[in-house]
Amino acid sequence: MREIKHFGRLGPNLKAATGVFSGQLASAVRTPGAAVLTFALLLVLGFLPVPLPPSFAAAVEPANLTPKMSEAFKKYVRAVDARNHLELKRGSDLLWIDALPEAARKRAYAELGRGQVQLERRPSRESGEKTSCPGCMIHHWVGLVFIPRTKLDDVLRVLEDYDHHAEYYAPDVTRARIESRDGDQFVVFLRFRRQKVITVVLNTEHAVTYFRDSASGAHSRSSATHIAEVDNAGKANEREKTPGDDNGFLWGMETWWRMEEKDNGVYVQSESVSLTRNIPTGLGWMIGPFVTGIPKETLTFTLEATRKAVLAQSQTRKNAAHH
């Protein structure tokens, strides 16, 4: 990828607009692969008066998923699986906020009752020690939402209705279908469209299993078995890049859901662990929080969209029953 050496090429007023940052930005954009992220920062701060050229997203320096990265992610996921298994086997205090100190726990339940989403970022220490993932990043979040005046079956009905996920979770999901089903085991296809300055389209396939734990509780485990970045999405010449030999926007995605019916509603918890490339050297101090915010935003949207879909479907059934 060509280096951007002069701010004049980026816009006539850019150097003056950036002021004290100009020297630091000049250094940053000489870093291979960093130019697209510099553009992202400048757009967010309002320094660029023109839209980002559509072709610029293609200038991101490619990344490669190495065996060392893959094994680090698998090791981390195994630790999360083991911890989830122990918690589910225990059978009590299944929501992550139940482990909070009393005052914080009461506050979290009150906020959930008012429609807020409770989120927590988990440090990469699932097995008790810091996970090393050179050249990659492991993102670990857990979120919780409360859906009032609904039943556990209502939530499961929406979550398992993958053929309509492109409606429930638009615009993040643009295509969805069940590839196969055997009882509570699903293989599903989901096309994600993520837009944050640049637009990324991903074809994904997931193996999902649901477990009914009791009359009031259930959980599921979802593992992405195929993730491919899509070039020219929606056009006649669209194609999948080779998984692991792409721009590294998403290399792995594992999800654990829990549902608990109580308090005249259902609590829905989703825990997500994902793998991406690292931030190119030179820009972490500047836009690291901006880039790593995407997993949080996606989880928040997913939980809120789930609540919206469940409530809408419940209302539709009630209306039909009255006619």
Average pLDDT of span 266-287: 78
Calculate the average pLDDT of the chain. Answer: 82
C-alpha distance from residue 32 to each of 4, 59, 149, 167 (Å): 9, 10, 53, 39
pLDDT tens, position by position, 141-164: 999 999 999 999 999 999 999 999
pLDDT of 245 reads 87
What whole-number distance in Å separates Cα of residue 143 and Cα of residue 257? Answer: 10
Q: Tell me the domain boundaries of the chain.
A: 7-61, 64-321
Q: Euclidean distance between the first and final Cα of the chain, in Å?
A: 63
pLDDT of 295 reads 86
What whole-number distance in Å separates Cα of residue 155 and Cα of residue 151? Answer: 7
Per-residue pLDDT band at 50 (split at 50, 70, 90): very low
Bridge partner residues of 191 (DSSP): 175, 203
DSSP annotation of 132: P
Six-digit token string for 256? 């654990």
Class of domain 64-321 (CATH, top level): alpha beta
Q: Which residues contact 287 (CB under 8 A, 6 or more apart)?
A: 37, 40, 41, 279
Sign of the C-alpha dihedral computed for residues 243, 248, 251 and 256 taken in this order: negative
For residues 111 and 103, is the Cβ–Cβ distance under 8 A? no
Read off φ and ψ for residue 5, nearest 5 degrees: -100, -20
Average pLDDT of span 269-297: 72
pLDDT at position 32 over 50: no
pLDDT tens, position by position, 82-104: 999 999 999 889 999 999 999 99
Choice among 119-133, 163-177, 196-210, 219-233 with the minimum mean pLDDT: 119-133
Residue type, 269: Q
What whole-number distance in Å separates Cα of residue 189 and Cα of residue 299? Answer: 19
What whole-number distance in Å separates Cα of residue 304 and Cα of residue 298? Answer: 10
pLDDT at position 127 over 70: no
Average pLDDT of span 197-212: 92
Long-range contacts of 121-124 (CB under 8 A, 24+ apart): 121/296, 124/76
What whole-number distance in Å separates Cα of residue 55 and Cα of residue 20? Answer: 29
Per-residue buried b or exposed e for 125-153, using 16+ beta carbons within 10 Å of the residue's own CB: ebeeeebebeebbbbbbbbbbbbeebebe
What whole-number distance in Å separates Cα of residue 252 and Cα of residue 274? Answer: 5
pLDDT tens, position by position, 100-117: 999 999 999 999 999 999
Helix or strand or coil: residue 295?
A: helix
Six-digit token string for 146? 């409360």
How much is the pTM? Answer: 0.79
